[in-house]
Amino acid sequence: MKKLLITKKEFLMILLGTTILALGINWFTSPLGLVTGGLSGVTIIVKEVSVETLGFEIPLWVTNLVLNIPLFIISIKQRGFEFAKKSLWAVGLLTAALWYTEFIPNILKVNNDLLLGGVFGGAILGLGIGVVLKAGATTGGTDMLATIIKFKHTRFPIAKLMLAIDAIIILAGMMVFGSTKAMYAIIAVFITSKVITNVLEGMNYAKAAFIMSDKNAEISEAIMQKIPRGVTGIKAKGMYTKQDKEMLFVVVSQKEITKLRELVREIDKAAFVTIADVREVLGEGFIEEYNSLA
């Protein structure tokens, strides 16, 4: 029984993520026929085809459960139970969420607007999947299928396997719902991927500046006094002159970058400055939540 246990935090994150994901499916992608790949796309196709061929609708949660069972059996045989434990929780909670979110009224109605549905649906799906992934789990489906194939055929990159599987599902969706909805589904997929990246990598953007100057002491003092931010001196060597130099490194918020540029220009107009985007910053003066790194 202990093998099934996960932490309370992981459980709550997976519950939250799967609920958000299920809302995105039941509110947007399923009603509009937007097949965005993944096993959720398969459930939407099965739901539509079952009405036309069988005369009744196979619920999304039923298809999700039935298709995941063989994938988990194979995955556990290949890699052991520990590998699939968190994902087992995620699939179970997603299956339940696909059922109970059917009874939650859609407060973000887009009617038949495919563009709005694709944008909002993609964003909500991305948020839900991102939260689940941040808990160290997956929602099963195509990513688990990709790991199964990868286990047997190690030469195939897993990212390309997932892309190929999702492409096949989207093509199947196009055959069922038409090319127009397939194109809007691709927009949703793009937005989903961007939101997932933001959830996993953080949205606390900052700027990192690397400064090469003959007036490093003055520049670093001005930065520490007037912005204020800590500055680090890094040993460097000019490969053309073969001279040892010192490069300044400083991280500032986006709103402080203009002030930093002005300070450097005031002191040394000949200074060489490189500015790079920073996705997330942890530490004094920024965010001090190191638990997310555990």
Residues whose CB is less than 8 angstroms from the CB of residue 258 and which lie 6 or more positions away in sequence, other chains included: none
Mean pLDDT by 10 residues, the chain (294 residues): 71 93 94 90 93 90 91 82 77 93 90 92 92 82 78 75 86 93 92 84 79 92 89 87 88 87 92 86 59 40
Closest by CA to 41, choosing from 132, 111, 141, is 141
pTM: 0.74
Residues 34 and 152 in one domain: yes
Q: Which helix (DSSP H) or strand (DSSP E) does residue 198 occupy? A: helix 179-201
- Residue 22: what pLDDT? 95
Residues 190 and 215 in one domain: no
Residues 188 and 282 in one domain: no
Phi-psi region of 242 (alpha: psi -120 to 50; beta: other; left: phi over 0): left
Residues 160 and 220 in one domain: no
- Residue 291: what pLDDT? 45
Cα–Cα distance measured from residue 113 to residue 34, given in angstroms and rounded to the nearest whole number: 12
Tell me which of 146, 181, 201 is where a domain ends: 201
Tell me which of 201, 232, 257 is where a domain ends: 201
Residues 218 and 250 in one domain: yes
Residues 193 and 93 in one domain: yes
Tell me which of 171, 201, 231 is where a domain ends: 201
Cα–Cα distance measured from residue 256 to residue 275, given in angstroms and rounded to the nearest whole number: 12
- Residue 294: what pLDDT? 36
Residues 116 and 232 in one domain: no
Residues 159 and 231 in one domain: no
Q: Which domain holds residue 132?
A: 2-201
Q: At what angle do helices 8-24 and 81-100 cross, to 10 degrees?
A: 50
Residues 166 and 247 in one domain: no
Residues whose CB is less than 8 angstroms from the CB of residue 66 and which lie 6 or more positions away in sequence, other chains included: none
**Number of folded domains that form the chain:** 2
Cα–Cα distance measured from residue 71 to residue 66, given in angstroms and rounded to the nearest whole number: 10
- Residue 290: what pLDDT? 42
Cα–Cα distance measured from residue 176 to residue 170, given in angstroms and rounded to the nearest whole number: 10
Residues 73 and 152 in one domain: yes
- Starting from the edge strand earliest in sequence, which strands make up the sheet with 272-278, in order? 232-237, 244-253, 206-212, 272-278
Cα–Cα distance measured from residue 92 to residue 137, given in angstroms and rounded to the nearest whole number: 12
Residues 61 and 178 in one domain: yes
Residues 180 and 51 in one domain: yes
